[in-house]
Structure 1
Amino acid sequence: MSQRFAVRGETIQLDQLLKALGWADSGGAAHAAVEAGQVHVDGRVEQRKRAKLHAGQRVAFAGQSVLLVGEGDETE
């Protein structure tokens, strides 16, 4: 399943994104998923729990993926 998520401002932290999408129930769960190597950013395993993500990047976790878009670009 793939979806789009509008980044408000210039960046969003990876752990915050996982929580906002409902892919992690808590910050601790988000951190555990990243530490376990289960989260990919642009096709690569991301080890930084608080990695700053920008519009144009794709995040994948547990069979789901999301494309980050700039605010107002959700319908492209």
Structure 2
Amino acid sequence: MQTIEFELEGDYVELNMLIKLTGLCDSGGAGKAIVATGAVAVDGVIELRKTCKIHAGQVVTLDDVEIHVLADSGSADSDSD
């Protein structure tokens, strides 16, 4: 199984856009179509909500690809004072 690590730029990414941004499809519309077929699982559960919010720590599976969603490394957690 192929593993992709995706770093969030914010609090969440919509499921259809995650599929697009990882290069598994060409557009957000194509991502919505893939989700609608029931081919996508979030944390092991089939997800049919096309714009479901995906947060850091979740794992999205599509065919033989597993996407690990990571927190934004440039978040406000780092204190430089």
Task: Tell me the TM-score normalised to structure 1 length.
Answer: 0.89
Q: Deviations over 1:17-72 (max 9, x none)?
A: 01000111112211111110001100010010000010000001121011101012
Q: What RMSD, in angstroms, separates the aligned Cα atoms of the two structures?
A: 1.3
Partner of 1:65: 66
Partner of 2:26: 25
* Structure exhibiting the larger radius of gyration computed from Cα positions: 2
- Larger RCO (CA under 8 A, 6+ residues apart): 1
Structure 1 residue runs of 4 or more that deviate by more than 2 Å after TM superposition: none
Task: Give the percent of matched residue pairs that are identical in Structure 1 and Structure 2.
Answer: 37
2-side partners of 1:10 and 1:27: how far apart? 19
Task: Tell me the TM-score normalised to structure 2 length.
Answer: 0.84
Partner of 2:79: none
Count of residues paired in the alignment? 73
* Residue 56 (str. 1) matches residue 57 (str. 2): yes
Give structure 1 stretches of 5+ with no counterpart. Answer: none
2-side partners of 1:16 and 1:49: how far apart? 9
